[in-house]
Amino acid sequence: MRFTFRNQPLGRIASVIAVLAVSANATLDGNPLATPDQQTLDALAIKISQDDNFTVLKAEAKAAYQTAHGLPISDEASSSIDAAIDELAFSSIQKAVNGDTYFPKVYWVDAGPRNWFGLDVPGGRYSYDNPDCIYRTIPIDSSLSYIITGYRHGSGPTDVTFSLISDPNSQNTVAYLSGSDLVVDSDGSYTITVNSSSGDNQTNHIQSTLLAKQLLIRNNLGNWATEKPDNLTVDLVDDNSSQSALTEAEIILAASWNLQESIVDYGVGALGIKTSINKVNTLSAPSQSSTLGTLTTQASSFGHFDLSDDEALVATVTQGDADYFVFPLTNPWIITTDPASQVSLNNKQAVANENGTYTFVISVEDPGVYNWLNTTGLHEGTIMVRWQGLPTTSSSSTSSTTSPAVDIQVVPLSELASVLPSETRYVTVEERESLLAQRLAAYAQRTEF
């Protein structure tokens, strides 16, 4: 394992990182996310974020997000925009610190703020972070060959995907390995090759092309208490001894470029074109595409809400052929507020109706419905429902399929009971507290070691 950087400009950081690594080393067991590489990259991202290199771009991002939201912008919405832009800027740095294709690492990104390894890691959430999903990145160059080694705990995450993408910001898919095609050995281990050869139809191979820049790995946890992300490490097959690591100046340049692209992809694209365009308190019809950060096997539905204290949104979701779906609430700037609160529910966490659909209630106050989604005090926010593990459009013609669907309406809280299905499960205050405590404890496992 490597705790030092070769280049002079990084010498200063290297010594800091080396000390941190040694002191935490003995306690790294058990948590697949708490790796020495994670610690190295988190420390470097923090260091870079502390210099004032992104002031102008952050101002541009804020203006673009405000434009995409549209006027008027309430005080409530305004109060969270600066923090959201800070997270967007940190996400751009996180993408850049693991951008060295000759010295690849596995890096967990797009998560909320946390304190671990003695590091105060800021949030790096952007563009509809999914509270179920552990997003990890590996930098890829198509002229090089990589071997990824994985280990699966138990039956593994509910949905796993490996997407080779052409750009860490627009995230367009170049090649793709789905969890159902991944071959895992009986002892839980697996290896995946990534290189430019066709691989002769070999299993666990991802063919890279000149467009490939990054492997984006999603591990979606359905049951947070029992499912663990896979262990993942990467090895470069080619010789890197004559290569020097990226300099800090190069990383800052890449981060600036990421932030610039993020303004367009997430501000103009995800918030503007995908979200704000919909009528308030409605959701777009689920649609499947491989652009703007979505998977080819994923369908998504976007919308934004604006509720008074005595109103609720009632949404009914049809899972269709998806093997996983999640209904998360996000703030006006398309990031989660407090994932440890019940701001999202997936098909393993929610209770189904008798006919297999799922009905959710979104409101500021807790109506005592099991499938309540907590707006965490917000009256305004955004929604991106997603279904994963769907047949791709080219492969779906053979069998008869049920399409994902969602249906949504605003009702006065006082009329909620008359709108909800008769089988709706309710919870007492004590049950709610206990459910919340379980969720919090399960969520905390991600950073415990």
Distances (CA, A) of 174 to 53, 295, 297, 325: 31, 11, 14, 24
- Tell me the closest approach of the beta carbon of residue 272 to ligand NAG, in angstroms: 27
Stretch 290-329 residues interacting with ligand NAG (CB under 6 A): 316
**What gap in Å lies between CA 344 and CA 382, rounded to an integer?**
12
Structural contact between residues 2 and 39, judged by C-beta atoms closer than 8 angstroms = no
Stretch 228-257 residues interacting with ligand NAG (CB under 6 A): 231, 236-241, 249, 252
Stretch 334-373 residues interacting with ligand NAG (CB under 6 A): 338, 341-342, 353, 355, 357, 359, 366
Residue position matching structure tokens 């919405």: 77
- Among residues 127, 158, 195, 346, which is the contact residue for ligand NAG, using CB under 6 A? 195
Stretch 130-189 residues interacting with ligand NAG (CB under 6 A): 145, 151
Q: Does 113 bind ligand NAG (CB under 6 A)?
A: no
Distances (CA, A) of 108 to 112, 233, 442: 11, 12, 18
- Tell me the closest approach of the beta carbon of residue 339 to ligand NAG, in angstroms: 9
Coil, strand or helix: which one is 198? coil
Q: Where are the alpha helices (DSSP H) in 151-307?
A: 248-262
- Among residues 202, 223, 226, 402, which is the contact residue for ligand NAG, using CB under 6 A? 202
**What gap in Å lies between CA 335 and CA 329, rounded to an integer?**
8
Q: Does 38 bind ligand NAG (CB under 6 A)?
A: no
Helix axes 55-69, 81-97, angle to 10 degrees: 120
- Tell me the closest approach of the beta carbon of residue 68 to ligand NAG, in angstroms: 25
Stretch 48-77 residues interacting with ligand NAG (CB under 6 A): 51-53
- Tell me the closest approach of the beta carbon of residue 200 to ligand NAG, in angstroms: 4
- Starting at the earlier edge strand, list the strands of the sheet with 159-165: 107-109, 133-139, 214-220, 159-165, 173-178
Q: Does 103 bind ligand NAG (CB under 6 A)?
A: yes
Nearest-CA neighbor of 211 among 244, 172, 182, 185? 172
Q: Does 430 bind ligand NAG (CB under 6 A)?
A: no
Q: Could you please report the per-residue DSSP string of 278-290?
A: SPTTEEPPPEE-S
Structural contact between residues 315 and 406, judged by C-beta atoms closer than 8 angstroms = yes
Q: Where are the alpha helices (DSSP H) in 52-191?
A: 55-69, 75-78, 81-97
The encoded tokens of residue 42 equal: 């988190």
The encoded tokens of residue 199 equal: 């691989």
Structural contact between residues 204 and 193, judged by C-beta atoms closer than 8 angstroms = yes
Q: Which is nearer to ligand NAG, 294 or 371 (CB)?
A: 371
Q: Does 432 bind ligand NAG (CB under 6 A)?
A: yes
Q: Does 289 bind ligand NAG (CB under 6 A)?
A: no
- Tell me the closest approach of the beta carbon of residue 341 to ligand NAG, in angstroms: 3
- Tell me the closest approach of the beta carbon of residue 114 to ligand NAG, in angstroms: 16
**What gap in Å lies between CA 349 and CA 224, rounded to an integer?**
9
Q: Does 119 bind ligand NAG (CB under 6 A)?
A: no
Stretch that binds ligand NAG, among 12-20, 77-85, 190-198, 394-402 (CB under 6 A): 190-198
Q: Does 193 bind ligand NAG (CB under 6 A)?
A: yes
Mask for 374-393, x = binds ligand NAG (CB under 6 A)? x-x-----------------
- Tell me the closest approach of the beta carbon of residue 359 to ligand NAG, in angstroms: 6
Size of the site for ligand NAG (CB under 6 A): 43
Q: Where are the alpha helices (DSSP H) in 312-365?
A: none
Q: Which is nearer to ligand NAG, 203 or 291 (CB)?
A: 203
**What gap in Å lies between CA 69 and CA 78, rounded to an integer?**
11
State the residues that interact with ligand NAG by CB under 6 A. Answer: 2, 28-32, 51-53, 103, 145, 151, 193, 195, 197, 199-202, 205, 231, 236-241, 249, 252, 316, 338, 341-342, 353, 355, 357, 359, 366, 374, 376, 421, 432, 436
